[in-house]
C-alpha cells in the first residue's frame, strides 16, 4: 500500500537511531576538521613570517641574510606538517577527503620554499626536495603533485618583480639568469597535459611572467647594460 | 652567486626528467579519470531510465507496476558501481581524490532509491540499505554519508509534487502520510550539525517541501476531504 | 637561415595570390550567408504572423477559427524552406556549416506547429510530420533532430498559460488533458541522454511547466470543478 | 474536441516509439562525439610536445635543432588527423556538424606549423601546404579556411616575443625581417572582407604585433645596431 504502515512503531525509532549515529559521525569528522583547521592556521602564520622576511629581497637586502631569517621558519613548518599528518593519519585513506582544508596554504608554502631554493642555488626546488623540507616524504601523507606545481607557478609570479628590483639596484645580469630559469621551467610545464583547470590557469599566468622578464632583459641589452653582471649595486650577486 | 651555476649541464636535464615523470603521472590519473567518467555516464543513463519509469507515479499509475519497472534498473546500477569500485580500487586510499567525479550522480541515484523505498514501505531508506542495494557495503568503496543525506533531501523535494498529484487523483489520505514522514525526517535532520554548506542548503529546502505539504493537507482538511480516501476520481488509490 | 630568403621575389606574389583566392572564397560564402539571411528574415515574419493569430487561443477564441488563420501560414513557410534548401544545396555537405543561421527561427516554427497540432489532435507533432509540413523530408535538407526537440520544449512553455486561460474561461477539463499530454512528453524526454547543453536546459524548463499545470489541475480538482468539461465558458471544447 | 482523443491507446506508444528512435540517434551521435574527443585529446598532447620544443627558439637555441625536434611531431599529427577523418567520414556531409569539436585545437596546430615554416623559409605556410603536412588534402575532410587564417593570426602573436628575444641574443637584423613579413601578411589580410567576428578580432590583434615589432626595429635602428648582426652576444644568429 502506498506509504506502507508508516505508523508502525519501529519506523521512527530506527530513523532516530540512524540519525543519532550520523550525528556522532558528523561530529567526529567535524571536530577532526576543527583540529586540522587549527594546525593549518599555525601553518599560515609561520608562512606569513617566512614571507615577511623573504620580501626584503625586493629591497635587494643581501640574499644570505634574507634567506637565513626565512630558513628559520622551515623547521617550524616541518613540525606543523608532522602534526597535521598525525591528525589526518587517524582516518586512514581519507587524505583526499580533507585535502582541500590545507591545499591553498600548502601551495603558498611551496611557492616560498621554491623561491628561496632558487635564490640559493639557481635551480628549481624538486618535488622530492620540497617533501623532505616539510617532512612529507611518507607514503600516507605526501605533498600532492598538483599542489607542488601550483606552488611553482606562484613562485614564477614573483619573478618579474624581483627582476625589476634587481635591475633597479644595478644587477644587470639578473634578467638573463631569471629568463633562462623561467624559460626552462615554462618549457617543462608545456610537456604536461593539465586537465586540472586551476593549475592550467596558474600555468597560463607563467607565460606573462616570462614575457615581462624578456622585456626587462631586452631593455637591459638594448642599452648595452647587460655586458657584465659586476656592478656597484650588485650586492646580492656578490655576497653569494 | 645569485641564480647559482644555472648554466651547469645537469640542471636542465634533472628538470626535464622530473617533469617527464610528472607527465606520466598526470597522464595516468587523467586516463583513470576518463575511465571513471565512462562508467559515470553509464550510471547517469541507467538513472535516467529509472527516473523515467518512476515519474509515472505522478500520473497515479499503480505503484507496484511503477516500482517493478524502476526496480529493474537497480541491478544495472549495482553492476556499474561495482565496475566503478574496481577502477577506483586501482589507486588505494584515493577514493576521495576522485569522489567529486561521481558525487552528484550518486546523490541522484540515492534520491530515486529512497523515493522508491518510501513508496514501497512508507519508511526512509537507511544508509546501509542504500549501500546494500548498490553493493557499496565495502570498507574501501562505500556510500559517502553526505551523499546519502543530500540524496534524501532531493527525495523530499519530490514529495510536494507527489502529494498534489495524489490528491488530484483522489487519494486524500496521502498528505497526512507524507506530512508525518517529512516531519519525522525534518526533525531527524535537525539533530545534525551540518557544517557542509551544500548539504545545509539542501536541508533548508526540505523546510519548504514540508510547508507545501502542510498547505495541501490544510486544503484537504478544510474541505472535509481528508476523512475518507474514496471518491469518484480516486483511481490512483484504487489501483494501489 | 632564420627568416630564409624572405626577400626573394616570389614570396610576396604567392602570398597575394593566395589571399586573392581567399578573398573570393570568403566573398562567396559571405554572399551565400546574405542570401540565407534574406530567406530567414522572410521565415521570421511569416512565423510572426502565424504566432499573432495563434495567440488568440489564449482569449479562448474558437480553436477552429484560430487554427484556420494560423494554418494559412504553413504553406508560406513550406515555400520559404524550399527556397532555403535550394540556396544551401548549392554547397553540398555544408548544411551544418550554415545551420546556425536558421536554427533558432526553425525551433520557433516547430514550437508553433506542434502547439497547433496539439490543439487539433491532442497528440504530439511527430518529427516526420513536422518535416512534411515544412517540406523538409529530404536527405540533404532535413529538420535537425535537436531543433525539433527544442521546438517541442518551447511549445510546452506555452502550456501553463493556455491551461490557466482555459480554466478562467470555464474549460475545467483542460488541465487534465494538458497534464496527461505533458506528463507523457516529459517521460519520453527523460529517456533521452541530452548532451546538448542548450537542449538540456530547455528540457529542464519543461518540468516547471508540468508542475504549474499540476498545480492548476489540483486547484480545479480540490474545488470539485473537474467533474465535467461542459460549461458555459467551454467554447473551445464545444466547437471542436 | 480540444486535446483530441488523447486517451486513445495508440498515441502514447507512437510517442514512445519515436523517442526510443531519438534515444538511439542521440546515443550514436553522442558516442561519435566521444570518439572524436578521444582523438582530439591525442592531437592536443602531440601539439603540446611540438610547442614545448619550439619554445626553445625564444632561448635562441639553434633553429635547425629546434625544428628537428618539433618536426618529429608533424607525422604524429598527420596520423591523428587521418584517424579523425576516418571517424568523421562515418557520417558523410556532417563535417561541419562536429567541426567545433576540433576547431580550436586545429587552429593551434596551424599556428605552430606556420611559425616553424617561417623559421625555415621566411615565408608564410600556404593553406595547401598546411593541408599537405596534416594529410587534409581531401574533398571530404579538409582544413577549414577560417581555421587556417585564425592559426596564422596566432602565429603572428608569437612574433613580437620572438623579435625581442632575438635582439636580446644579438640578432639585430631579425626585426627588419619580421617587420617585412608581418607587413606583407597584414596587407594581405586587409584584402579580406572578414564577416567572421572571431577571425576579425584575431586579425585586429595582428595590428598590435606589427606595432610592437616596429618599436623594436626602431630601438635597434636608433642605436645604430641594425647595420650589423654580428655582436659578442650574437649566439643565436651564429648557430644558424
Domain ranges, ordered by start, for chain B = 18-143, 156-240
- D20 inside 8 A of chain C by CB: yes
Q: Which three cell numbers stand for residue C64?
A: 477552429
Indicate if the alpha-carbon torsion angle C236, C239, D3, D7 is positive or negative: positive
- Residues of chain C with C-beta less than 8 angstroms from the C-beta of B56: 183, 187
How far CA C202 is from CA of A52, B19, B213, in Å, comes to 53, 45, 28
**Taking 60 as the threshold, does the pLDDT of residue D64 lie above it?**
yes
CA angle C161, C165, C169 (to 5 degrees): 170
Burial C197-221 (b: 16+ CB within 10 A, else e): eebeebbeebbebbbbbbbbbbbbb
CB neighbours of D131 closer than 8 A, spacing ≥ 6?
Answer: D137, D142, D143
**Taking 70 as the threshold, does the pLDDT of residue C14 lie above it?**
yes
C10: burial class by Cβ within 10 Å (0-12, 13-18, 19+)? exposed
- D67 inside 8 A of chain A by CB: no
- Asked which of B150-154, C4-8, D146-150 is least confident by mean pLDDT, the reply is C4-8
CA closest to B45 among chain C residues = C193
- Report the 10 Å Cβ neighbour count for C140: 11
* Residue A1, pLDDT score: 39
Mean pLDDT of A164-189: 93
Q: Say if residues D124 and C123 touch (Cβ distance below 8 Å).
A: no
What fold, for A156-240?
Methane Monooxygenase Hydroxylase; Chain G, domain 1 (1.20.58)
**What is the C-alpha to C-alpha distance for residues C6 and D179, in angstroms, rounded to an integer?**
11
The long-range contacts involving C51-55, CB below 8 angstroms and separated by at least 24 positions, are: C51/C108, C51/C112, C54/C112, C54/C115, C54/C116
* Residue C239, pLDDT score: 34
- B123 inside 8 A of chain A by CB: yes
Q: What chains are in contact with C, requiring at least 3 Cβ pairs below 8 Å?
A: B, D
D176-209: per-residue pLDDT in tens? 999 999 999 999 999 998 887 889 999 999 999 9
* Residue A12, pLDDT score: 65
Closest by CA to C156, choosing from C128, C176, C185, C127, is C185
Whether B and C touch, i.e. at least 3 CB pairs below 8 A, reads as: yes
* Residue B99, pLDDT score: 94
Q: Say if residues A130 and A114 touch (Cβ distance below 8 Å).
A: yes
- B34 inside 8 A of chain A by CB: no
- Residues of chain B with C-beta less than 8 angstroms from the C-beta of C222: 167-168, 219-220, 223, 225
Residue whose cell numbers read 517541442: C152
Best of A1, A3, A150 to disrupt the B interface (most B CBs within 10 Å) is A3
**Taking 70 as the threshold, does the pLDDT of residue A235 lie above it?**
no
For residue C195, give how far its alpha carbon lies from the nearest alpha carbon of chain B (Å): 10
CA closest to A192 among chain D residues = D48
Contact flag A93-B140 (C-beta cutoff 8 Å):
yes
**What is the C-alpha to C-alpha distance for residues D178 and B18, in angstroms, rounded to an integer?**
36
Comparing CB atoms, the residue among A186, A192, A217 nearest residue D168 is A217
Residue B232 DSSP class = T
**Taking 50 as the threshold, does the pLDDT of residue C229 lie above it?**
no
Contact flag A2-B124 (C-beta cutoff 8 Å):
no
- A190 inside 8 A of chain D by CB: yes
**What is the C-alpha to C-alpha distance for residues C149 and C127, in angstroms, rounded to an integer?**
9
- C9 inside 8 A of chain D by CB: no
CA angle D2, D3, D7 (to 5 degrees): 135
**Taking 80 as the threshold, does the pLDDT of residue A150 lie above it?**
yes
How far CA B233 is from CA of B54, B175, C212, in Å, comes to 22, 16, 20
Residue A136 DSSP class = -
Comparing CB atoms, the residue among D2, D120, D145 nearest residue C119 is D2
The D residues from 200 to 229 touching C (CB cutoff 8 Å) are none
Comparing CB atoms, the residue among A191, A218, A226 nearest residue D48 is A191
For residue C183, give how far its alpha carbon lies from the nearest alpha carbon of chain B (Å): 7
**Taking 60 as the threshold, does the pLDDT of residue C235 lie above it?**
no
Q: Compute CA B187 distance to the chain's CA centroid, rounded to the nearest angstrom.
A: 20
A219-223, B227-231, D101-105, range with greatest mean pLDDT: D101-105
* Structure confidence at residue C227 as a pLDDT band (50, 70, 90): low
**What is the C-alpha to C-alpha distance for residues A112 and A125, in angstroms, rounded to an integer?**
10
Question: Helix or strand or coil: residue B52?
Answer: helix
**Taking 90 as the threshold, does the pLDDT of residue D94 lie above it?**
no
Contact flag C183-B49 (C-beta cutoff 8 Å):
no
ipTM of the complex: 0.82
- Residues of chain C with C-beta less than 8 angstroms from the C-beta of D20: 191
Mean pLDDT of A135-163: 92
CB neighbours of B11 closer than 8 A, spacing ≥ 6?
Answer: A122, A123, A184
**What is the C-alpha to C-alpha distance for residues A152 and C39, in angstroms, rounded to an integer?**
56
* Residue C191, pLDDT score: 84
What fold, for A18-143?
Methane Monooxygenase Hydroxylase; Chain G, domain 1 (1.20.58)
* Structure confidence at residue C60 as a pLDDT band (50, 70, 90): confident
The long-range contacts involving B30-34, CB below 8 angstroms and separated by at least 24 positions, are: B30/A193, B30/A195, B32/B87, B32/B90, B32/B91, B32/B98, B33/A195, B33/B98, B33/B101
Residue whose cell numbers read 544508509: B127
D178: burial class by Cβ within 10 Å (0-12, 13-18, 19+)? buried
Q: What is this structure's pTM? A: 0.82
Average pLDDT, chain A: 87
**What is the C-alpha to C-alpha distance for residues D104 and D198, in angstroms, rounded to an integer?**
11
Contact flag B55-C183 (C-beta cutoff 8 Å):
yes
CA closest to D54 among chain A residues = A187
Contact flag D48-A186 (C-beta cutoff 8 Å):
no
* Residue B52, pLDDT score: 85
- C193 inside 8 A of chain B by CB: yes
- Report the 10 Å Cβ neighbour count for B75: 12
* Residue A123, pLDDT score: 95
Give the pLDDT of chain B (240 residues) as one tens digit per residue: 344 433 433 346 788 899 999 999 998 988 899 899 999 999 998 999 899 889 888 887 889 999 999 999 999 999 999 999 999 988 888 889 999 999 999 999 999 999 999 999 999 999 999 999 999 977 778 999 999 999 999 999 999 999 999 999 999 999 999 999 999 999 999 999 888 788 999 999 999 999 999 999 999 998 888 765 444 333 333 333
Mean pLDDT of D137-158: 91
* Structure confidence at residue C91 as a pLDDT band (50, 70, 90): confident
* Residue D230, pLDDT score: 44
Comparing CB atoms, the residue among A188, A193, A214 nearest residue D45 is A193
**Taking 70 as the threshold, does the pLDDT of residue A234 lie above it?**
no
- Residues of chain B with C-beta less than 8 angstroms from the C-beta of C218: 164-165, 167-168, 216
**What is the C-alpha to C-alpha distance for residues A120 and A195, in angstroms, rounded to an integer?**
32
What's the longest Cα–Cα distance across chain D? Answer: 95
The B residues from 86 to 105 touching A (CB cutoff 8 Å) are 92-97, 99
A60-79: per-residue pLDDT in tens? 789 999 999 999 999 999 99
Whether A and D touch, i.e. at least 3 CB pairs below 8 A, reads as: yes
Contact flag C217-B168 (C-beta cutoff 8 Å):
yes
How many B/C residue pairs have CB atoms within 8 Å? 45
Contact flag C214-B52 (C-beta cutoff 8 Å):
no
For residue C216, give how far its alpha carbon lies from the nearest alpha carbon of chain B (Å): 10
Secondary structure, 3-state, D79-101: HHHHHHHHHHHCCCCCHHHHHHH
Q: Where are the alpha helices (DSSP H) in chain C?
A: 11-54, 63-89, 95-98, 103-121, 127-134, 145-168, 174-190, 197-222, 235-239
CA angle C87, C93, C97 (to 5 degrees): 75
- Cα within 13 Å of Cα(D93), Cβ side: 12
A99-109: per-residue pLDDT in tens? 999 999 999 99
Contact flag D3-C122 (C-beta cutoff 8 Å):
yes
* Residue A11, pLDDT score: 47
Q: What chains are in contact with B, requiring at least 3 Cβ pairs below 8 Å?
A: A, C
- A1 inside 8 A of chain D by CB: no
CB neighbours of D173 closer than 8 A, spacing ≥ 6?
Answer: D226, D229, D237
Comparing CB atoms, the residue among A190, A214, A226 nearest residue D48 is A190
Residue B8 DSSP class = S
Contact flag B220-C218 (C-beta cutoff 8 Å):
no
Q: Say if residues D158 and D178 touch (Cβ distance below 8 Å).
A: no
Closest by CA to D167, choosing from D92, D94, D231, is D231
Q: Where are the alpha helices (DSSP H) in chain A?
A: 11-54, 63-89, 95-98, 103-121, 127-133, 145-168, 174-190, 197-222, 235-239
**Taking 90 as the threshold, does the pLDDT of residue D53 lie above it?**
no
**Taking 70 as the threshold, does the pLDDT of residue A2 lie above it?**
no
In terms of pLDDT, which residue wins out, B223 or D74? D74
Q: Which string of DSSP letters, residue by residue, matches C96-161?
A: HHHGGGTHHHHHHHHHHHHHHHHHHHSSPPPHHHHHHHHT--SSSS---HHHHHHHHHHHHHHHHH
- Asked which of A10-14, A130-134, A147-151, A155-159 is least confident by mean pLDDT, the reply is A10-14
**What is the C-alpha to C-alpha distance for residues A225 and A231, in angstroms, rounded to an integer?**
10
**What is the C-alpha to C-alpha distance for residues C46 and C70, in angstroms, rounded to an integer?**
10
- Residues of chain D with C-beta less than 8 angstroms from the C-beta of C149: 22
* Residue C15, pLDDT score: 87
Comparing CB atoms, the residue among C93, C126, C189 nearest residue D95 is C93
D16-37: per-residue pLDDT in tens? 899 999 999 998 988 899 899 9
For residue D47, give how far its alpha carbon lies from the nearest alpha carbon of chain C (Å): 22
Contact flag B52-C211 (C-beta cutoff 8 Å):
no
- B233 inside 8 A of chain C by CB: yes
B60-100: per-residue pLDDT in tens? 788 999 999 999 999 999 999 999 999 998 888 888 999 99
* Residue D98, pLDDT score: 93
* Structure confidence at residue D238 as a pLDDT band (50, 70, 90): very low
For residue B23, give how far its alpha carbon lies from the nearest alpha carbon of chain C (Å): 30
C25: burial class by Cβ within 10 Å (0-12, 13-18, 19+)? middle
Amino acid at each position: 500500500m502506498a506509504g506502507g504502515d508508516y505508523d508502525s512503531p519501529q519506523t521512527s525509532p530506527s530513523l532516530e537511531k540512524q540519525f543519532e549515529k550520523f550525528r556522532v559521525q558528523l561530529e567526529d569528522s567535524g571536530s577532526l576538521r576543527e583540529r586540522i583547521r587549527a594546525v593549518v592556521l599555525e601553518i599560515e602564520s609561520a608562512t606569513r613570517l617566512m614571507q615577511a622576511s623573504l620580501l626584503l629581497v625586493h629591497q635587494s637586502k643581501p640574499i644570505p641574510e634574507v634567506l637565513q631569517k626565512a630558513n628559520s621558519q622551515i623547521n617550524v613548518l616541518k613540525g606543523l606538517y608532522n602534526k597535521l599528518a598525525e591528525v589526518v593519519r587517524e582516518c586512514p585513506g581519507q587524505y583526499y577527503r580533507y585535502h582541500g582544508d590545507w591545499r591553498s596554504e600548502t601551495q603558498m608554502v611551496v611557492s616560498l620554499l621554491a623561491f628561496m631554493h632558487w635564490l640559493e642555488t639557481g635551480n628549481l626546488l624538486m618535488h622530492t626536495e620540497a617533501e623532505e623540507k616539510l617532512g612529507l616524504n611518507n607514503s600516507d601523507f605526501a605533498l600532492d603533485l598538483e599542489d607542488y606545481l601550483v606552488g611553482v607557478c606562484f613562485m614564477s609570479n614573483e619573478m618579474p618583480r624581483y627582476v625589476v628590483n634587481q635591475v633597479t639596484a644595478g644587477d644587470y645580469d639578473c634578467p638573463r639568469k631569471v629568463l633562462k630559469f623561467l624559460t626552462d621551467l615554462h618549457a617543462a610545464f608545456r610537456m604536461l597535459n593539465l586537465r586540472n583547470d586551476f593549475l592550467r590557469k596558474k600555468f597560463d599566468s607563467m607565460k606573462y611572467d616570462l614575457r615581462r622578464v624578456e622585456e626587462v632583459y631586452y631593455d637591459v641589452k638594448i642599452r648595452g647594460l647587460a655586458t657584465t653582471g659586476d656592478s656597484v649595486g650588485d650586492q646580492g650577486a656578490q655576497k653569494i
